[in-house]
Amino acid sequence: MTRFVAEKFPWICALWLHLALYAVLSDAALWRSVVPDPPEPVSVEIIPEFVPPSVPDAALEDVEESQRQTAAVPPQTLPDPAPGSTSAPDQPHSSGARVPEQTAPPSTAAKPEQEWVTANTYFANDVLNDPRSAQAREFLPTLTSEDGREQICALEAMEQVRHARPGFKPTRLAPHAFRNSFQKEDTIIVPAGALRSNRVWYEIAYRCRLDASGKIVSGFEYALGAPIDRSLWDEYGLAPIH
Query: What's the confidence (pLDDT) of residue 137?
Result: 86
Query: What's the confidence (pLDDT) of residue 108?
Result: 43
Fill in the amino acid letter for 98: R
Adjacent-strand bridge partners of 117: 222
Distance from C-alpha of 31 to C-alpha of 153, rounded to nearest angstrom? 43
Q: The pTM is what?
A: 0.57
Please report, for residues 42, 95, 119, the alpha-carbon distance to residue 131 in angstroms, rounded to integers and kept in the order given: 9, 76, 25
Query: What's the confidence (pLDDT) of residue 219?
Result: 98
**198 dihedral zone (left: phi>0; alpha: psi -120 to 50; beta):** left
Fold topology of 110-229: Nuclear Transport Factor 2; Chain: A, (3.10.450)
Among residues 176, 170, 172, 171, the alpha carbon closest in space to that of 189 is found at 176
User: Domain boundaries in the chain?
Assistant: 110-229
Distance from C-alpha of 41 to C-alpha of 139, rounded to nearest angstrom? 11
pLDDT under 70: residue ranges of the chain: 1-114
Three-state secondary structure readout of 107-150: CCCCCCCCCCEECCCCCHHHHHHCHHHHHHHHHHHHCCHHHHHH
- pLDDT tens digit string along 128-183? 999 998 898 888 889 999 999 999 999 999 999 999 998 999 999 999 999 999 99
Adjacent-strand bridge partners of 209: 187, 219
